[in-house]
């Protein structure tokens, strides 16, 4: 059941007792135990623990124990561990991740945990994936959200149970909004549904599309769809394009304005039991229309801040929406670099957006994302 797992930067090696010699230093910082309790283990304690874990199962056979040491590819340096405890009777896998204090802030926890969760999804015996996270453990909560875990109402030993859902849907108004505004949410298992991606009649040309060098807006939309699919594919997410009209085509009378009920009906086949994300509607009337159509059908959808409009109009929720506490995400370097590369894939749009918002395709411009969750 065990396997060596690899990612772009890491190798996850099945646990051995010999690894205790390296890991005792990785786990030596007392700050690692601020949320979980306990204290740094001695070499003898860690070796004894690993000796039990490498057996792969509890003595009574009710649990399977799967543990990996997280190493940096190339150097082989140990930086932490990930683990899964599988309850045989139910098929539930409880996962956990720990990265040494000296190696935090580099995205290793997300990268390693994503590899673990992806592997577990391919194990037939595993029917549910969960993580137990303390209410004050904000860093682990952020990792869980990036991986598509959803907070539940259940608690175990004072920790909240987070469940990994098979689906996450990010609603994007235009052919670039999800990548610009919510890149940290994009991953395998995420579907990005762009609503206003419809083709105008041949021979149409708008002022905005003309700025891209296009002579026909229909060709421009076709090019933008290709760009969007390529940008989203970089994250491992899946792109879906609906056929409703962008406001620029409605304004010149060549396409009808989308009815909110029709938007909701078109989205319905793509919305599963996972979380649904929708733009907050900051600074763009198309975003407001799509937001309102989604919230009318799914009032518990999570809102995300609209970049780059927030850079001009601020980061607060628009008036008229129920107040929710914001949750900010500062993108770690590998995610930020991937986001900037994905944004640059929108070759027909970026230079014109820069002319409106300044040079925002930078860490300062796109390195922060914000969501608002119901009840937060």
Half-sphere exposure of 90 (CA within 13 A, CB side): 10
Each residue of 131-153: pLDDT tens digit? 999 999 999 999 998 888 888 99
Closest alpha carbon to 95 in 121, 124, 74: 121
Q: How far apart are the first and last CA of the chain?
A: 39
> Above pLDDT 90, what percent of the chain?
79
Q: Which residues contact 318 (CB under 8 A, 6 or more apart)?
A: 280, 281, 282, 288
Instruction: Quickly count helices (H) and strands (E) in the chain.
Output: 14, 15
- Residue 81 DSSP SS3: strand
* Residue 27: predicted pLDDT: 97
* Residue 376: predicted pLDDT: 57
The pLDDT of 45-57, averaged and rounded, is 96
**H or E segment to which residue 139 belongs:** helix 138-146
* Residue 224: predicted pLDDT: 97
Measure Cα distances from 249 to 164, 190, 259 in Å. 40, 29, 15
**H or E segment to which residue 13 belongs:** strand 10-14
pLDDT at residue 1 greater than cutoff 70: no
Measure Cα distances from 321 to 305, 317, 318 in Å. 13, 7, 6
Each residue of 240-281: pLDDT tens digit? 999 999 999 999 999 999 999 999 999 998 987 778 999 999
Do 13 and 68 form a contact (C-beta atoms < 8 A)?
yes
Return the ∠ at Cα 39 (arms to 140 and 333), rounded to 5°: 30
Report the side by side order of strands in the sheet with 78-87: 5-6, 10-14, 63-72, 78-87, 92-99, 128-133, 159-164, 149-156
- Residue whose pair of structure tokens reads 């769809």 in the numeric block: 225
Each residue of 36-46: pLDDT tens digit? 888 999 999 99
Each residue of 79-103: pLDDT tens digit? 999 999 999 999 999 999 999 999 9
pLDDT at residue 219 greater than cutoff 60: yes
Calculate the average pLDDT of the chain.
Answer: 93
Query: How many residues does the structure list for the chain?
Result: 376
**How far is 306 from 314, CA to CA, in rounded Å?**
10
pTM > 0.85: no
Domains (range + CATH), the chain: 5-164 (3.40.630.30), 168-372 (3.40.50.10320)
The CA radius of gyration of the chain, in Å to the nearest whole number, is 23
Pick the more confident residue, 108 or 127.
108
* Residue 87: predicted pLDDT: 95
Task: Count the Cβ atoms, other than its own, within 10 Å of residue 354.
Answer: 14
Do 318 and 292 form a contact (C-beta atoms < 8 A)?
no
């Amino acid at each position: 059941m065990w396997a060596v797992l690899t990612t772009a930067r890491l190798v996850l090696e099945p646990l051995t007792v010999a690894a205790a010699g390296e890991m005792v230093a990785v786990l030596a910082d007392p700050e690692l135990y601020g949320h979980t309790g306990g204290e740094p283990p001695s070499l003898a304690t860690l070796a004894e623990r690993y000796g039990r874990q490498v057996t792969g199962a509890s003595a009574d056979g009710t649990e399977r124990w799967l543990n990996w040491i997280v190493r940096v590819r190339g150097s082989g340096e140990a930086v932490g561990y990930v683990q899964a405890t599988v309850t045989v009777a139910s098929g539930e896998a409880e996962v956990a991740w720990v990265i040494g204090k000296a190696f935090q802030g580099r995205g290793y926890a997300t990268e390693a945990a994503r590899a673990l969760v992806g592997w577990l999804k391919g194990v037939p015996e595993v029917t549910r994936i969960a993580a137990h996270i303390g209410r004050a453990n904000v860093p682990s909560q952020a990792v869980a959200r990036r991986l598509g875990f959803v907070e539940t109402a259940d608690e175990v030993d004072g920790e909240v149970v987070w469940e990994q859902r098979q689906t996450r849907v990010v609603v994007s108004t235009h052919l670039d909004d999800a990548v610009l505004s919510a890149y940290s949410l994009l991953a395998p298992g995420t579907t990005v549904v762009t609503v206003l991606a419809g083709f105008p009649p041949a021979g149409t040309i708008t002022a905005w599309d003309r700025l891209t060098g296009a002579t026909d807006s229909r060709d421009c939309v076709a090019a933008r769809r290709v760009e969007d699919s390529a940008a989203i594919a970089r994250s491992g997410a899946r792109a879906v394009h609906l056929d409703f009209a962008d406001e620029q085509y409605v304004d010149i009378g060549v396409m009808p304005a989308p009815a909110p009920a029709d938007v909701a009906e078109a989205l319905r086949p793509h919305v599963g039991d996972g979380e649904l994300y929708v733009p907050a509607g900051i600074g763009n009337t198309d975003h407001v229309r799509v937001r309102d159509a989604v919230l009318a059908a799914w009032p518990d959808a999570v809102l995300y801040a609209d970049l780059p409009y927030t850079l001009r109009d601020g980061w607060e929720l628009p008036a008229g929406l129920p107040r929710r506490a914001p949750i900010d995400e500062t993108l770690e370097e590998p995610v930020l670099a991937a986001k900037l590369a994905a944004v640059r894939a929108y070759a027909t749009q970026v230079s014109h957006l820069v002319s409106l918002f300044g040079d925002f395709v930078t860490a300062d411009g796109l390195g922060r994302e914000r969501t608002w969750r119901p009840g937060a």
